[in-house]
A and B are shown apart, each in its own frame.
Chain A
Amino acid sequence: MASQPTTSSEAPPSKSSEQSKSAESSAPPAASSSTAPVATATPEAPKLSGAELKKRAKAEKQAKRAAAKAGGQGDGHPEASQPKKDTPQKGSQKKGQQQPRQSAGAQQKGKQQSKGQEAGAVSQAKKEVDIPLRAAPKSTPDNRVFRQFSIYRRTSLENINKDVHPAVLAFGLQLSSYQICGSTARCIGMLKCFKSVIRDYTIPPDNTLARHFIPHCLSAQVEYIKSARPTSIGMGNAIRHLKDAIVKVDPEMPEADAKAHLLEVIDTFINERIRAADTVIVNAAVAKIKDGDIILTYANSSIIKKVLLAAHARGKKFITIVVDSKPLYEGKYLVQDLSNAGLETEYVLVAAIAHVMPRATKVLLGAHAMMADGRLFSRIGTAVVGLAAHERHIPCIVCCESYKFTERVYVDSYAGNELAPSEELLPHDSEREAWRREMEVKPQLQVLNLLYDLTPAEYVDMIVTELGNLPPSSVPAILRMLEGKAA
C-alpha cells in the first residue's frame, strides 16, 4: 500500500459523495494527483454517482437496523462485508475532510449526511474486520452494563484508508497486539511515525502545509491509530502540540524548511517533554529511595523502571515488590528487567496486596495521566494499590511527565476508560471459544476488561514531575505554567 498518491485518481471522485466532488472542484484539478485522499483500492467496484451511493448506504443502514430489531444480528459479518466495502473508506475519508467542508457547497446536507454515514460507516467498519466477541448490536434491549465503550480493535490490514503511511500501519498493529504498551512508549512511537509521515509528505501545489496537512494527511493517520487502540491522554496532548505547530507554519516558507521545522518540533517534544523530563524525574525520585527500603510498584511503568534501575546503579540497597494483574501481566516484564539487572525482586498478583503492603515502605506508581483535580488515571488496579497504601499510611509517590497532565476531570473510573476485548481475560483458547459462544447467545453475560482506573487524589502523596515535586492539588498550577510557556 503506497503512500504515494496515485495518478489514476480520476476514478475516485465517482465513489465520493457530493462533498468530495465539490471539494475537488474547488481545489484545482491537480489536487487529484497529490495526496488527496483516494477512496478505495478496489478499482473494479461499480462506479456510482454520489447521490446513488448515499441512497444505497442509507438503505443498507435501515435494513441493518430492521434486521437487528428482528433478531438476526449474527449475520452481520459475511454479508455486510461485500456491499459495504467502499463505505468505510468514505467514512474515514469523511472524517478527514470535515474541516475543509466549509468551502464546499451544500455543506448542511453534507454535514448531516456525513455524520450519519460516518456512524453507519464506522459501525459497518466494525463488523467488517472480523474480531470475535464484537459488540454487534443486539436485538434485545441492550442491558449490557458498559455499552458506552466501543471495543472495536483493528487487528488486520483490510480496508484501510490508502493514505495511511506504512510506518503508521505497522505501529497500529503493534499497538493492538500490545507489543508497544505503556503511555510513554506509545507516545514516542506515534511521534516517530509522524516524522516518517512528514518526511514523505509533499504539499500539493497552490496549497499550504498549514491548511492541507492536517485534514488530508495527519487526520487519517490519527484515525487509524485510534482504530488500533484509543489514544492516551499524553498522545492527545502531543498531537495537539504538533497541530499547533503545523497551523503556525508560515505559508511563505519553502516546503523543505517547513518540513524540517516540523520534524524539529517533534524531536524537541520528545527530547524535552519526555526524555529530559524522565532524567529529571529519575534524579528526583532516586533521591527519595533510601537503603533498606522496600519499594512496591504496580504493573510496568517505564519511568518507574528507570528510577529503580538508576537507584540500583547508584548503589542503593532495596527490595522491590512488583504487583501484577490480568490480563496484560505487564509486571512480568518489569520483573524480568529488574531481576536480570541484579535487583532483589518479589512478585505477587494484586489480590495478595494485603499480604505485601504491610512490609512496604514506599509505593512508586506510574501514571497514564494526571487529572486537574489531582486524581491519578493509570493502569487498572492502581487504585487498589493506592487504597491499600493509604490504609496503612505508606507514602505513595507518582512519577509523571508534565505532558500527561490534562485539564480534564473525570469523576469516576468509567469516563475516558478503554475497554479491551473480553477474550483477553480468558486464559485458554477452548475457554474463549466457549465464552464467545455463550455471550452471543446470552446478552446478560459479559466480561469486563477495563484498562484504566482512577485513583482518588487523597491516596497520592506526591507527584514527581520535571517541573518539581508537588502534591496532587497542584496539578492545575502546573497546567497554567505549561499554558504560559506555550503562549
Chain B
Amino acid sequence: MPGKGFRTPGLESFVDNLDEFKLERSTEVLIQLLARRQISGSKNCAIAVAGLLLRIVQDSPANSVQDLLDQVSQIGQRLIAAQPRELAVGNIVRRVLGLIREVSGIGQDDEIRSELSSMLDGQDGLNRPEMLHSISTYSPLRHAASEFTGASTPESPQPIKRPNFAQSGYSSFAMPSTKTAMNLFGLLAEPSYSPTGTPPITNRESPALSTKNLNIIQEQASIKETIQEIGDGMRELLDEVDLAAEQISESATDYINSNDMIMAQGLSDTTHKFLAEAARKRKFTVFVVEGEPNEGQATRNMILYGSAKSPSDDDGQEGTTKRLVDLGVNVVLIPDSAIFAIMSTVTKVLLAPQAVLANGGLVANVGTSMIAAAAQAHKVPVLALSGVYKLSPLYPLDTDELREIGSASGLGGSVGSWGKVNVMNPMWDYVEPEKVNLYITNLGGHAPSYLYRIVADHYDKEDINLGTDM
C-alpha cells in the first residue's frame, strides 16, 4: 500500500483500507486474506465480511432487490469458497441475504402478512412463541412477501394467498413441512404449497399484466430507501458481532459460583471477558488448558499479558486488558494431557467454539472433544460460549469434512533422526451435542437441542444451500 508503510495484512489493515479502494479490489483482497488465513478466527472473519458486504450494498448499482440479492449472493459464494471451513463467513452472508429479504419485504405487505400470520398461528396445534419482528422472523409468509418485490422471481415457490378461511384447512397441511428443520439438502424444507394454491394464479395475473411497468418504477424509487434500511440493519449486525462477547459475559455471575474450579479450553477473548466479569463478584480458580500445538502460545500470552500476542511481537501492544490474575482469579496453566487427572476436581467446563452447528454440535480447537468427553465421564457441566453469529445452519453430516490438517512443523521438532514417519496436526475437533450442556449466547442460554430454532430465526432457508454444490 503506497505511502502507508508496511502493515501486516490482516483485519485492521483491511478494514482501514476498505473505503479507499474499489469494490472489486476490496473483494479480491478479502478473498486472498481469507484463503491465506491472514484473517482468522470467527469474529475477525465476520467483521471483515460484514464490512465488505456493507460497502457492496451501499454502492450497489442494482435496480431491484433481486439484483441486489444476486450480487450479494455471488460475492458471498466466492468468499465462502475462499475459506470453506470458516463457517462464520457463510453465516454473515446468509444473515445479510436474509436481512435484504426482510427489509425489502417490510412496508409492502404488512396487513396481509399480519392477517395470515394470525390465521396460521391459530391453525397449527403447536404453541409458537411470539417472535420479535426486528430479528428476522421466520415465517412462510416471507416467500409471499418476496413475490411482491421483484417482477421476475420464477424460482420462488407459489405464494400462500388464502384470502378466505375455507382454505385454511390446507394451510395446516402445509405448515408442518415448512417448520421442519432445514438441512443441507433442503429436502424437507421446501414447503409444498401446491395443495393450497388454487387462487394464486388468478390473483397474480392481473397485477402483473396491468401494472408491470408501474411496479418497476416504484421499485427503483424505493430501492434507495431499502438500501438505506439494509445498511442500517447491517450496521446492527456488525454491532452484534462486536458486542457479542460482552453480552455473553453479562450473564457470567449466573453461571459461576464462589470457589468454583473452572476448566477453560484456551483463553479466547470471549472466555476471558466472561471470566473477568464473573471475577468482579466471585472468587474462583480457572484451569486453563493450553491447547498445544496450535493455541498454546496464544493461551500462554493471554494469561501472562492479557492479550494473545506478547508485547515483543510485531503487532502486539501493551495489554490494555486486565489479566485474570490481576482481577483476583487463581489461574493455573495445565497441559492437554492433564485434563482427565484434573477433571475430578473441576466443577464446570467452559468451551469457546470456533463454530456451532445447527444440530447443537460445535467445532473447536483440537483437544476439545477430549475435554468434553472427560467432563461427561465425571458428570461436569459443559458450557459453550458463542455469539449467535457463529451459529451455522449447516448440519455436520460428515464430520470428516470438518477436519483440517495444520502444519506439523509446530510439533516441537524431532529427536535424533526419524525414519519415514507420518506426523499429523489436526486443527479442529467436533464435539457432539450430547456432550454440551448449555450454549451461552448473546441472546441468552440455550440447550443444544434448541439451536435449530435460533437457526430458523436468523436464516432464510433459501440461503442455506449457498455456495454448496449439493
Contact = CB atoms under 8 A, between A and B. Distances in A.
Given A388-B373, A435-B304, A143 B330 contact: yes
A377 to B, nearest CB: 11
A379 B337 CA distance: 9
B425 A383 contact: no
Contact of A425 (B331, B335, B344, B414): B335
Contacts of B423: 346-348
A353 interface: yes
Contact of A446 (B326, B332, B341): B332
B216 interface: no
Given A354-B429, A448-B338, A326 B292 contact: yes
Interface in A330-369: 332-333, 335-336, 339-340, 342, 344-356
B369 A354 contact: yes
Contacts of A354: 366, 369-370, 373, 429-430
A447 interface: yes
Nearest to B422: A346
A384 interface: yes
A347 B424 contact: yes
Nearest to A329: B412
A431 B304 CA distance: 10
Interface string B408-441: 0001101111111111111001100000000000
Interface residues of A, number: 59
Nearest to A337: B416
24 contacts: A145-B332, A326-B292, A326-B337, A329-B412, A332-B414, A340-B417, A350-B370, A351-B367, A351-B429, A352-B425, A354-B366, A380-B341, A381-B337, A381-B338, A387-B377, A414-B341, A425-B290, A425-B333, A426-B300, A438-B304, A446-B331, A448-B338, A450-B341, A452-B341
Contacts of A469: none
Contacts of B325: 438, 442, 444-445
A391 interface: yes
Contacts of A335: 414, 418, 421
Nearest to B324: A444
A384 B333 contact: no
Interchain residue pairs A-B with the least CB separation, the first 3 = A381-B337, A351-B367, A339-B419
A384 to B, nearest CB: 5
A445 B303 contact: yes
A348 B425 contact: yes
A413 B374 contact: no
Chain B binding surface SS class: mixed
B412 A447 contact: no
Interface of A: 143-145, 325-327, 329, 332-333, 335-336, 339-340, 342, 344-356, 379-381, 383-384, 387-388, 391, 412-414, 417, 425-427, 430-431, 434-435, 438, 442, 444-450, 452-455
B336 A350 contact: yes
Contacts of B312: 430
B419 A342 contact: yes
A435 B330 CA distance: 15
A387 B374 contact: yes
Contacts of B300: 426, 431, 435
Given A351-B291, A438-B304, 4 more contacts: A329-B412, A348-B425, A354-B369, A383-B341
Nearest to B331: A445
Given A347-B422, A444-B329, A355 B338 contact: no
A344 B304 CA distance: 41
A438 B325 CA distance: 10
B340 interface: yes
Contacts of B345: 412
A425 B326 CA distance: 22
B244 interface: no
Contacts of B335: 325-327, 380, 425, 449
Contact of B424 (A145, A336, A355, A412): A355
A332 B408 CA distance: 14
A327 B328 CA distance: 28
A350 B338 CA distance: 10
Contacts of B336: 325-326, 349-351, 381, 384
A351 B417 contact: no
A350 B426 CA distance: 11
A413 B340 contact: yes
Interface in B361-376: 366-367, 369-370, 373-374
B136 interface: no
Contacts of A444: 325, 328-331
Contacts of B421: 335, 339, 345-347
Contacts of A333: 415-416
A412 B420 contact: no
A249 B299 CA distance: 58
A355 B403 contact: yes
Nearest to B283: A143
A326 to B, nearest CB: 4
A446 B330 contact: yes
Interface string B152-195: 00000000000000000000000000000000000000000000
Nearest to A388: B370
Contact of B426 (A355, A427, A430): A355
Most buried by B among A349, A444, A447: A349
Contacts of A448: 287, 332-334, 338, 342
A356 B340 CA distance: 18
Most buried by A among B300, B338, B374, B422: B338
Contacts of B26: none
B241 to A, nearest CB: 28
A360 B462 CA distance: 41
A446 B325 CA distance: 10
A455 B341 CA distance: 8
Contacts of B403: 355
A120 to B, nearest CB: 29
Contacts of B367: 350-352
A345 B337 contact: no
A387 B419 contact: no
Contacts of A352: 366-367, 424-426
